[in-house]
Amino acid sequence: MKNARNIAILVVIALAVVALPGGQTAAAVATAVLSVAISALLAYFVGRLYRDRRLDVYALGDLDRGIFYAAIVGIVVLLAASQEWDSTGGRLVELGGLAICVGGLVRVSQLWRSS
């Protein structure tokens, strides 16, 4: 019964977005606000994690720290541009780039654990 009620609420919200004038604009604004809020929370979490683990990052060698930073930047750039990869070849390039970045993070994490 509770699931049916929840589904009915979602259907009413969807109908309001489609049927009411300005509903799609309001939905777009709500989506944008939620995206900004999630991005802000993620940035806060990453900043906090970096502050807590700053000495561990600096304890890595120059090469490993460079790999770590490059992998993080690579993941951010690839995910930010993911909507631009429309073709199958573009998706394969994106997945290959993500695999390389994750491989770099795995290498650094193995060094982190061994020290």
**Would you state the pLDDT for residue 40?**
93
Joined together, the tokens standing for residue 102 give: 């994750």
**Would you state the pLDDT for residue 48?**
93
Q: Which of 38, 90, 46 is nearest to 72 (CA)?
A: 46
pTM of the model: 0.64
37 pLDDT band, cuts 50/70/90, is very high
Q: How are the residues of the chain apportioned to helix, strand and coil, as percentages rounded to the nearest 5?
A: 90, 0, 10
Model confidence at 100: pLDDT above 90: yes
Model confidence at 32: pLDDT above 70: yes
